[in-house]
Structure 1
Amino acid sequence: MKKILFIAICLILGFVFKPYLTFSAVDNENINTEIELLNKQIAEKKARVKRLEESIAQVKKDINAKRLEATSLKNQIAILDNRTTQIELDIEATEEKLDTLNLEITALEMKIKLQEEDIKRQKEMLAELIRTINYEADKSYLEVIAAYDNFSDFYNRVQYLQVVEEDLGSNAKSLRLAKESLEEKKGSTEERKESYEKLKVSLDEKKEDYEEQIFGKENLLFQTKSSEMTFQALLENLRKQYQEIESEIASVEREVRNKLEAQNKLSATTDANFDGLFSWPSQSRYVTSYFHDPEYPYRHIFEHNAIDIRAGQGTPIKAAASGYVGRARVCSSSSCYSYVMLLHSDNFSTLYGHLSKIIVSEEQFVTRGDVIGYSGGTPGTVGAGPFVTGPHLHFEIRKNGIPVNPLNYLAKDWE
C-alpha cells in the first residue's frame, strides 16, 4: 500500500515539475506568434526610418549646395522650400519612430505577461518541493525504515529526495533570475513610454516648425513682392542693421561695464556665488536654431551667434542671471530689431532678441528670474525685425564680449 502511495506521490510531483503543462500551451504559442509579428513590424518601421533619414541627409546637402550659390530671391526661396521638405521628412520619420515605440511597448507587455505566468508556475513548483521536503523531514528514522518493504525501495526514496533538494535550489535560482528579467522588462517598458511622450512633444514642435517655414516663405514673397531688386535692397538693409547692432552691443557693453565696475556695482549686487550657469529665459526648452547652426536659413548672410527658443508671441521673458540692463532697444516698427542686453559678473552678458515689449530700463538692476519683456518675432509685428519666420526668442550669451554657445552655460533643468 505504501509503495503504491509513494508511486502516486512521485507521479503527482513529476506532473507539477513540468511548468509548461500547467499553463495553456496554446495561449503561450499564440502570444509568442504575436510577439514575432510585432518584431517583424518593428524591423520594417526601423528600415523606413533609416530610409527617411537618408532622404533628410540628401535634402541637407541640397540646402548647403544652394547656400554656396549667389544670394538671390530665387535661391533663398529654394532654400526655404528644401528646408520645408526636410521638416516634412523629419515629421514622417518621427511618426514612424512613435509607431515603433508603440509596437515595442506592446511586445514588451506581452513578454511581461509570459514572464509573470512563468514566475507563477515556478512559485507553485517551489512550494510543492518545500512541502515534499517538510513532509519527509517530519518522519522519525524508524517510520522511514518501516515504510519500505526492502532496502532497494528505501534507497530509491533517498535518491529521489536528494533530487528534490537539488531541484529546490535550482528552482529558487531560476525564480530569482525570472524576477530580475521581469523587472528589466518593466524598466524597459517605462523607458519607452517616457521616450514616447517626449517624442510626441517633439512631433508637435516639428509641425509648428513646418507651419512657420510655410509662413516664412509667404512673408518673404510678400515683403519683396517677388522682386529681386526689392529683395537685394532688404538684404542690404538687414546686413547694415546687423552690423550696427553688433557695433552697438560691443560699445555699450564696454562703456556700461566700465561705469558699473567703477562704482563696484557688478561684483557687489549680482548673483552670490555665481558659478557661470544661467537659467533658461523662458518656460520652453525647444530650440529651433542652434549656435552657429549650419541649417540656419540666412547663414550665408551672417553667422547665427545664438540659440532660438520656441516662444509664442507675448511669452514672458526672464533674466537668465542677475545683472544690470546695459541696453534696452525699443522699436516702433516691424523692420526694427528690439532687444535687451544684460551685464553680469565675470564678464558675462546675455542678449534677448525679437522682443514685442520691453519692461525694463537701461542701468536698472534685475534679479535672476525677473521678467524683462515679452517675446515677439511674428512677421509684421513691432520689434520682430526683417526676414523672421515665426515667434521665438533669440538668446545670446557672451563672455568678454564674444558670443559663446548658450547650451554650454544653461542649466540642464529639464532632466
Structure 2
Amino acid sequence: MQKQKIQRFITFLSLSFFLTGTYAPSFVQAEQGDSTTIVGLKKSQTTQILDSFKEKQEVLLFENVPFSSDDELGLFNAERKMNSLSDILKRIDSSKEQYKQQKRVVTREKFTLKRMIADLDASISETEKYISDTEELITDKNREIAKYAMHIEELNAKIEENKTSILRYLTYIYTKGDLVYDGAQNIDVLRSIILNDGNLGEIFNDIHYKSILETAGQNFIEIHRDLVKEYYYNKESLKKEKLANVRLRGELIARNRDISAQKQYKEQILEVTKGQEALYNQYIATKQESEEKIQIRIANISEEYTSVFARLGDKYQCDIVGGSNGSGETVATTASGYSFTASGTLLDSCSDLQKFYTAEKKLIDYPIDENIQNPLIWPVDATRVSTYFHDEDYFKSLGSDHEAIDIPMPQGSDIVAPAAGYVYFIQPPTATGYGYIALKHSNGFVTVYGHISEVLINKFDFVDTGKLFARTGGTPGTFGAGPMTSGAHLHFELYKNRESIDPLRYFDLTKLQYDSIEGKYQYKFVEDLKTRYGNKTNISKYSKFLIAGSDEIERQKYLLANYASPSFSNHDVWTEEAVGGKIDPSFLMCVGLAESGLGNHLKTGFNVGNIGNTDSGGTYEFISARQGIYWMTKTLNNKFLGKYTTIDQLSRYGNKKGSIYASSSSNWHNNVVRCLSALKGKFVEDNFEFRLAEDEKDD
C-alpha cells in the first residue's frame, strides 16, 4: 500500500512538472473498467492537472503575444484605415481626372451645340411635314374607299336586277315550253298570238316582249358576267385601299413617336448642357474638399499609429526605423514604412515582433468564409474520430472536458493547414516531451495540433490552405507523444475568438465512416452528403432515427404519435404550451424525449420534463400532462434559466459554472440536438436558439 502511494506521488509530481514545462494536454485512461484513476492518479488529481494545463495554454496562446493591449491591436485597424483612405484618395484623383476630361468634352460640344439644335430642328420639321403629307394621303384614301364602296353598292343592285330578269326569262321559257318555239327552236310570234287569250293591246305588247326575249336570252349571261367581274374588281381595289390606309396610319403613329422622341432629346440636350461646365467645376471643387479632409484623417491616424509603434519599441527595447536599418541593410517594413530593429541589428525579440506584425498583416487578405457549410478542410486524411468534443466518457474518467477531437492516424501521417494562416506557436517534439503546434487564421480562428512527431515549418511562417506543415505522432515512446498517450492519433483543437469550439461543425463529415459517427453528427453527415453530391446519392440508408413528414409540423405529429405515451401524444397541448411560453415547440418536445421518453419513463406523475426531480432525491409530480408541459416552459423562463437563449447553455456541455436544466456534460445535449435535427429536417448547431421571437409567437 505504501509503495503504491509513493508511486502515485512520484507520478503526480512528474506529470505536474511535465505539464508546467511543456503544457501537454493529452492523456489516456487507466485500465478498462477503472473510471476513477489514470495511471495511478485519482480523478480529482487529473481534473486539477488538466484544468491547470488549459489555463496555462490559454495564457500561452492568447496572452503571451507581442500585441496584447487594445491600442497595440489597434495598429492593424489603423493601418487598414490608412490603406482604405489611400485607396479612396486614388479613386478621387481618378474621378477628378475623368470629370476634367468630361469638362473638356462639354466645352468642345458647346461650339457645336447650335449646329446640333439646328439639325434637330430640321429633322423635326421634316418629320412634321411627313406627318402632314401622310394625314392628307390618308384623307384621299378615305375618299377613294368611300367611292369604291358606293360603286360596289350600285353594282350589287344591278347584279340583283339582272338576276331577276334572267329568272323571269327562264320561268317564261319553262312554262311555255315548245308552244312558242318553231322547228328551228326560234320563238314563233304568230303561234304566240294565237295561244294568247288577252286583248289586242296586250297581244301587241306580248309580241313586242317576245321579240326582244330571244335577243335578251343571248345577252343576259354576258351582262351578268361583266357585272360580277366589275363587282369583284372593285371589292379587291377597296381591300387594297384599306390595307394601304392601315399602313399609312402605322407610319403616322411611328412618325409621331419619332417627333416626340426628337423633341424630348432636344430638351434633354438643352437641360444637360445648360450650365454644365459650371456643374463640373463645382463637382471637382467638392472632390478637392473631400480629398483634403481625408488627408487630415490620414495624418491623425498616422500620428497615433506612429505613437503606438514608439510604445512597442520601448516595450521590447527595439528601435523603430523606416525602410532600412542603420547599416544600410534592408529590413521588412510595414505598409507605412516602419520596422522593428535594434541599433542596426535585428534582435530575436525585435525580429519576432516584426515577423508577427508581418504575418498578422498578411492574414487580413485570407478571410475564412463562414457563410459556407464547411469552411475548413480536414488537416489529416481522417476516417473516424475516437474522442469527441466534450466527450461524456472522457469527462467521467478524467473530470475535465475534452476541448478537442482525437483522430486516429498512423504514425508520421501528413498534417496540412485546414485554412490559410501562420504558425502561432511551436512546442518542438522531444523524446519524452509533448509536441504541438498552433496556427492562427483569420476571423478569430486558432487551430492546435497535438502529439506532433515532426515539425516542417518555423514560427511565423505563413501556410496556405492544404499545405503540409507537420506530421502526426502519438505512438507511446516516440518523439512528441508525451509521457501518456493512447496510441497514434492527432489531437486537434479549434478556437474562435479565444473560445474552444467543436471542430466537427466546420468539417465535411462525409470523409468519415458513417457508422462510426456519434448520433448527433449523423444529421450533419447527411447535410454534407447533400451538399457534396446533391440528388445523386440515396440518403435513405443513412436514416437512423426516422421522423417522417414533409414539414416540421408533420414530423412533430409523427414523433408524438410513434414515440410519446398516450398522455403526451396531443400535438395541440405541446404547441399551445410551448408558444405560450415563447419556446420552440420542437425543442420542448425534444427535451421531453431526452428526459422521459415523452412520458414513457416517468419518475413521477406527469413530470415529462423531470422538473424538480433531483439527483439528491427530490421529486415533484403534476396532475395532468398539460401541467407537466406547462412547468417545463415555466422552468425555462425562471430567474435562473430565463437569461439563456441557446441549447448549449442549458447543460454542462456548454455551461460549466452557471445554473443548468440538465447536469449531463454531453448526452442530454447530444440527444436534444439529434432530435431537433430530425424535426427541423437539417443539422442543428450547438448554439441553436430555442426561444421564439415575437413575430414567431404571433404567427
The question of a shared fold, defined as TM-score above 0.5 by the shorter chain, is answered with no
TM-score (norm 2): 0.26
More relative contact order, 1 or 2 (CA 8 Å, 6+ apart) = 1
TM-score (norm 1): 0.42
Q: Which has the larger radius of gyration?
A: 2
